[in-house]
Amino acid sequence: MSSLTIHANSHDYEVIIEEGIRHELLNYISSDYQKILIITDDKVSNIYLDDVISGLGNEFDPHITIVPAGESSKSMKQYERLLDACVEAQLDRRSLILALGGGMVGDLAGFVASTYLRGIDFIQMPTTILAHDSSVGGKVAINHQKGKNLIGSFYNPVKVIYDTGTLLTLPAEEIRSGYGEVIKHAFLSSPEWCNDLFQVSVGNLSSEQIKDDLMKGIKVKAGIVESDEREKGIRRYLNLGHTLAHAIEAELGYGKITHGEAVGIGLWFALRVSQRKLESSLPVDRYAEWLKSNHYPVEILKNLDVDTLLKRMKWDKKTVHQKINYVLLNQIGAPCVVGLSDQEIQTDLNLFIKEVSAT
Amino acid sequence: MSSLTIHANSHDYEVIIEEGIRHELLNYISSDYQKILIITDDKVSNIYLDDVISGLGNEFDPHITIVPAGESSKSMKQYERLLDACVEAQLDRRSLILALGGGMVGDLAGFVASTYLRGIDFIQMPTTILAHDSSVGGKVAINHQKGKNLIGSFYNPVKVIYDTGTLLTLPAEEIRSGYGEVIKHAFLSSPEWCNDLFQVSVGNLSSEQIKDDLMKGIKVKAGIVESDEREKGIRRYLNLGHTLAHAIEAELGYGKITHGEAVGIGLWFALRVSQRKLESSLPVDRYAEWLKSNHYPVEILKNLDVDTLLKRMKWDKKTVHQKINYVLLNQIGAPCVVGLSDQEIQTDLNLFIKEVSAT
């Protein structure tokens, strides 16, 4: 069993990663909890809910609430519905919410846990690779029609229970999505890890490899978040690749490309800008090959307009009149934040789209 | 100017109490804020909003959102509406929410501030005496149809600006309500302060007296909350008088009696139980005289049923099968928590209602 302790502002908590632990959940949940509410979505529940319920044994008689799969459930409507479910189940301060699912379920259930009775305990049970990113760091939220994650809290789980067995049924684009954030964490930390990942085909991963990469990714994220939980400084480095990714996601319409695939493409751009602006020595061509050989949908860029993407970036960063603060790399493991003018971004984006289109 | 620094878990903040400071607000608000949203209710806005806006000078161009006065605005509906207002005003992390009003406005606007963009700064400007209690301590919340304050956060303001000039227009029952919590704070801390208050007629208070009592009350509350912000221990002492008060409020229907008047009556009962159970020496007769001479509506108890009140108390404490943990006094300034059986509470309540009815 692999495990790691995260030191959050409010409390320490453990991340446990192991194949099959959903079947023996009872060993990982304190018997002090008098009630459990499982929150999950209608895709995950079909595959794993029975395992989780039987994994809890006879000790608990869990309440269950299922929301529709997909980002649109991170809504005020589902938030209200889940609070009603908490009240109906008569959860009190000695109760637990178990968030079983990907990032959407974790964000939504975590926000419910953070505000019901001014905060009750919750445990994350991620069922995607991508959720290695969101399950650590304490950001929980729902969306507003005007923007993602506009309503939320900083609130940490009491535990993260990661059964890598649940990752083996993920569709190809979800595995690519997860590895988009994984390789971002590699670029933020270690040339060796980057080289290892360049050898990997994400269509053909072993459970051991996934476990290893999740643990490394979570360590990188935890290291940064522990120094800056409230994102006043270095936590911004985690946005490497995200400025363009958010613009692509928003422009295509949410759901047209997975978040991590967009990050993978945004990272490619950030590396090219780092080369141009900082003269950084980075394995950009090698990374671009990796993206393409792993079928990241880089071709979507061909149809996007530079000026529209720039507008989206400025809206995302809420900097209409100023330079965009962009996360770049001096080298692998050495991120920095650099102000880029509109002109620079336009030029770089034009070059980048030309490069992508030529492939 | 009287001021006091509160040491919360997240940050220190200042409480400033002075008559007239709404007219010179600009001196108390950092010019770093790029946007301000004032949240207030339709009673307070009629009287004080213009003062506050002109008190902000030309430095800020505040956005304003007004909710209907009354407890029913602590709702999911108003919460959503206010979040929409934040988005429309394009508030960002360098923006400020100013909560101008009584406890309802503070709780509601504070909850909005705690969850918009995962938390932005807010300042409390209380306009009731009662709000000296809620503006300090970091509890913000809205109500659920099944219970008060079921949805909320622990979130502290960056400042409390208390203009005692706004308290002079309060109706008589609101002054009594505020002094219900004031005298509770006196019983939790100081025999001398209790004696001073026994001399006071709440219908005839000077601005200086109010300022002095607010400062003392906030000091008592802050002292307790600073040791136990998350209510895991001694913060429960602040519930002195509240178990019966909540039952009375719920039984009469919210709005039929002010919160602080119910607390005043609940405190009388807690003192009697303390005498009986702990043989405490307490000035209960003197206190009862004070309540009556100040026109606290003690007569409402005559029509209430002991068994119904008991059921309400147990629901409030969520202890169906156990004893109720009741806050009592060993002496003035020495609170404790004591488990009381249903039988004890029934007997004590019967005696108490008889005592009240005889007056």
Contact B153 A117 (CB under 8 A): no
Output the pLDDT for position B321: 65
Contact A83 B144 (CB under 8 A): yes
Query: What sections of A96-254 are H helices per DSSP?
Result: 103-115, 131-134, 172-187, 191-198, 207-227, 242-252
Q: Give the residue-averaged pLDDT of A178-185.
A: 98
- B105: buried, middle or exposed (CB in 10 Å: 19+, 13-18, 0-12)? buried
Output the pLDDT for position B319: 61
Among B74, B115, B139, B148, which would you mutate to test the A interface (most chain A Cβ atoms within 10 Å of its Cβ)?
Answer: B115
Nearest CA to A352 out of A196, A255, A248 is that of A248
Summarised one tens digit per residue, pLDDT across range A11-39 is: 999 999 999 999 999 999 999 998 999 99
Contact B144 A117 (CB under 8 A): no
Task: Tell me phi and psi for residue B273, to 5 degrees.
Answer: -65, -35
Q: CA A298, A304, A307, A312 torsion: positive or negative? A: negative
Q: Please, what's the b/e burial string for A58-84 (b: 16 or more CB within 10 A of its CB; e: otherwise)? A: eebebbbbbbebebebbbbebbbebbe
Among A94, A115, A140, which would you mutate to test the B interface (most chain B Cβ atoms within 10 Å of its Cβ)?
Answer: A115
ipTM of predicted assembly, 2 dp: 0.94
Q: Which amino acid makes up residue B326?
A: Y
Distances (CA, A) of A302 to A208, A223, A297, A355, B226: 36, 36, 11, 10, 58
Return binding residues of B for NAD(+): 127-128, 139, 148, 166-169
Using pLDDT thresholds of 50, 70 and 90, give the confidence band for residue A212: very high
Distances (CA, A) of A125 to A78, A165, A324: 19, 12, 36
**Segments of chain B scoring below 70 in pLDDT:** 317-321
Q: Which amino acid makes up residue A24?
A: E
Question: CA-CA distance, B89 to B187, in Å (whole number)?
Answer: 45
A318 pLDDT higher than 70: no
Query: What sections of A71-130 are H helices per DSSP?
Result: 76-88, 103-115
A314 pLDDT higher than 90: no
Q: Nearest C-alpha of chain A: how many angstroms from B256?
A: 25
Task: Tell me phi and psi for residue A195, to 5 degrees.
Answer: -60, -40
Nearest CB to B119 within list A119, A146, A154: A154
Chain B residues in contact with A80 by the CB 8 A cut-off are 76
Distances (CA, A) of B39 to A316, B64, B240: 26, 6, 31
A320 pLDDT higher than 90: no
Q: At what angle do helices B103-115 and A103-115 cross, to 10 degrees?
A: 160
Strand blocks (E) in chain B: 2-7, 12-18, 35-41, 63-67, 95-101, 121-126, 139-144, 147-154, 159-163, 324-331, 334-340
Q: Nearest C-alpha of chain B: how many angstroms from A35?
A: 14
Structure tokens at A285: 């061509």
Q: Which residue has the tokens 């309503």?
A: A151
Output the pLDDT for position B348: 97
Nearest CA to A86 out of B311, B146, B315, B250 is that of B146
Q: Is A181 annotated as a binding residue?
A: yes
Chain B residues in contact with A111 by the CB 8 A cut-off are 115
Nearest CB to A151 within list B115, B146, B318: B115
Chain A residues in contact with B147 by the CB 8 A cut-off are 87
Summarised one tens digit per residue, pLDDT across range A40-80 is: 999 999 999 999 999 999 888 899 999 999 999 999 999 99
Contact A153 B153 (CB under 8 A): yes
B259 Cβ contact partners less than 8 Å away, ≥ 6 residues apart: B103, B130, B177, B180, B245, B249
Contact B150 A92 (CB under 8 A): no
Contact B150 A117 (CB under 8 A): yes
Chain B residues in contact with A119 by the CB 8 A cut-off are 153-154
Q: What is the largest CA-CA distance in chain B?
A: 63
Distance of CA A277 to the CA centre of its chain: 28
Question: CA-CA distance, A16 to A215, in Å (whole number)?
Answer: 9
Chain B residues in contact with A92 by the CB 8 A cut-off are 318
Nearest CA to B259 out of B271, B247, B270, B269 is that of B247
Output the pLDDT for position A101: 98
Q: Nearest C-alpha of chain A: how many angstroms from B91?
A: 10
Output the pLDDT for position B67: 98
What's the angle, vertex CA A120, arms to CA A114 and CA A126, rounded to 5? 70
CA atoms within 13 A on the CB side of A93: 10
Contact B114 A83 (CB under 8 A): no
**A-B C-beta contacts closer than 8 Å:** 58
The full set of domains in chain A, from first to last, is 2-167 (3.40.50.1970), 172-357 (1.20.1090.10)
Distances (CA, A) of B246 to A17, A25, A95, B237, B317: 46, 40, 23, 15, 10
User: Roughly how many angstroms between the first and final C-alpha of chain A, as a whole number?
Assistant: 42
- Are B128 and B170 in contact by the 8 Å Cβ rule? The answer is yes
Q: At what angle do helices A103-115 and A76-88 cross, to 10 degrees?
A: 60
Q: Is A166 annotated as a binding residue?
A: yes
Chain A residues in contact with B114 by the CB 8 A cut-off are 153
Q: What secondary structure does DSSP assign to A264-302, as a single string?
A: HHHHHHHHHHHHHHH-----HHHHHHHHHHTT--GGGGG
Task: Give the chain B residue nearest A120 (alpha carbons).
Answer: B153
Output the pLDDT for position B323: 87
Question: CA-CA distance, A44 to A73, in Å (whole number)?
Answer: 14
- B203: buried, middle or exposed (CB in 10 Å: 19+, 13-18, 0-12)? exposed
Nearest CB to B83 within list A83, A144, A318: A144
- Are A203 and A153 in contact by the 8 Å Cβ rule? The answer is no
Structure tokens at B205: 């208070």
Contact A87 B147 (CB under 8 A): yes
Nearest CB to B318 within list A76, A92, A114: A92
